[in-house]
Structure 1
């Protein structure tokens, strides 16, 4: 990631430009029609876990290919504001031309391309997806579509421009202020996404409301409870059953403060406690109860049960048998 102090560069070599982007932002594929002089003015900086760049470049094209996304350990969302000139963006089935004052959002985990006209100027924000997990539905719906640069989106862009200016003049933000700015920019862009791009209250919501996540979580609860008996039940199986990515699944679980693995184990232990406390529990061995709920090892089951309830499975069953008596 770039330094928290803004860096200004004048680049006169296309190869140098490729190296800067590949090493300090994201690996991309590059092409240009002209083999003549290349020129770029760029200012970039890091704040929190994010990065921002303001660049004016000669005409060229960049593309994020499938292999780039597969080789990456982490996914990012990118917000691209057109400041001068024109660019063309494409992701999935969406394609759009960006004129000054417009912006778009795209997902670096999916292929995309950007073609910049000669002298085009743009500001680019790079946000780790684990810092903006609520953006995924919007990135799917809006990736490669042009949005109006007004309201919350324009305020976010202005704040980032001020960051670059102040940092380059010897007034960088401290760590706390960087985190505050990151949270503020993410919240502003989320507002813009919920408002169909502008953040001014018009248009159809592009960001799924929280009710959609609640419905997904309810579906996860139902799936887990129906498949507790399957030892292979895992985050990967849940994501496949819901037709979502593992990253999206983990982001949903963040809302309830658990990982998928911890939640599955918690539901298994809760069901085991209920079964052992029932009248029929004495008719089944502890090993049978463990295996029926997807635990592959009875000793492991006894250990995690004790950690959860403060007593062994046999002690739990005896206690509830005495209570019933």
Structure 2
């Protein structure tokens, strides 16, 4: 189902002395929670545009210089988690996340993760476009993406140039694309992002063959999530290599095979509970459909992952559709 919502806001809508405080509140709602600071308390100029398409969020921000810290407290205030691709059409600044730091400039594309602390600062007025990609979608497309957050790619050459051109066109034309074609376009965007930000062989300690093999293994897991007995033994057997080698494929990204299967099942189950045509299925049926053998175990791990019970989450999703 194609769901769209657009919000446009400008500091001209509020009195001068309240402009920065109002901007902070709007950014919390349209992007995510940040602790923002600027050098001018008397006046602040900013324009914000936020447009949702399905589970993806397109934003445009033009503003005076500012700095922002995203802390654990800020993260806890967010209901949805994203990986954010951003590029500047004007201005420059810095982005830091984890051990990585990159200098943002016109023509570069940066990546950050909304589930971890981060810092950004701009030195002048800036004009920024962002695409917020649902967390689970990006994780499945680019294993190890967490290690790349805080980095950027050059939008003037190679795959980075293709990605930048695509993002610009996407921001300009997404509303003109037929609603039936948008999911495929957005999936292609994520694939292009994965290609542009894919880590070097030296960084992940493996070969191009190993990366391609891991992708095929993950696709096999997604296709067979409904099989209750899906696990390292039969996955390795399907690809004719040892379980030990399978674990090595996943360990280079600090995850186990079983954890990846469990998280994929949880995210698929959560998506099913948001889907109107599956409203006739009980929570237990959804759990079994996605490979969980025991409904009480499903409820426990679901709450651990999403901080609410499956029933509470389903009721919330239902109420949001009615609002």
TM, length-normalised to structure 1: 0.59
CA–CA distance in structure 2, aligned partners of residues 223 and 90 of structure 1: 41
CA–CA distance in structure 2, aligned partners of residues 244 and 86 of structure 1: 35
Shift of 1:265: 4.0
CA–CA distance in structure 2, aligned partners of residues 31 and 220 of structure 1: 49
Contact 1:47/1:182 (<8 A) preserved: no
Q: 1:163 to 1:210 in 2, by over 3 A?
A: closer
Shift of 1:164: 3.9
Contact 2:32/2:78 (<8 A) preserved: no
Q: Larger Cα Rg: Structure 1 or Structure 2? A: 1
Contact 2:91/2:105 (<8 A) preserved: yes
Equivalent residue for 2:185? 181
Q: 1:135 to 1:114 in 2, by over 3 A?
A: farther
CA–CA distance in structure 2, aligned partners of residues 256 and 69 of structure 1: 23
Aligned residues: 240
How big is each residue's C-alpha offset from its partner over 1:210-254, in whole Å with a ceiling of 9 and x where there is no partner?
434649x8x962599xxxxxxxxxxxxxx9xx9649985545569
Instruction: Spell out the pairing of 1:9-28 with structure 2 (5 A cutoff).
Output: 9-12=9-12, 13-28=19-34
Q: 1:15 to 1:249 in 2, by over 3 A?
A: farther
Point out where structure 2 has 5 or more consecutive residues left out of the alignment.
13-18, 222-229, 236-249, 270-285, 295-323
Residue 121 of structure 2 corresponds to residue 115 of structure 1: yes
Contact 1:54/1:123 (<8 A) preserved: yes
Shift of 1:119: 0.9
Contact 1:194/1:205 (<8 A) preserved: no
Shift of 1:55: 1.8
Point out where structure 1 has 5 or more consecutive residues left out of the alignment.
197-202, 225-238, 267-325
Q: 3-state SS of the aligned residue for 1:90?
A: strand
Shift of 1:134: 2.9
CA–CA distance in structure 2, aligned partners of residues 247 and 161 of structure 1: 36
Equivalent residue for 2:168? 161
Contact 2:142/2:194 (<8 A) preserved: no
Residue 213 of structure 2 corresponds to residue 211 of structure 1: yes
Give the aligned CA root-mean-square deviation in angstroms.
4.3
Choose the corresponding residue for 1:56, options 46, 51, 62.
62
Shift of 1:25: 2.6
CA–CA distance in structure 1, aligned partners of residues 101 and 288 of structure 2: 36
Equivalent residue for 2:4? 4
Q: 3-state SS of the aligned residue for 2:168?
A: helix
TM, length-normalised to structure 2: 0.59
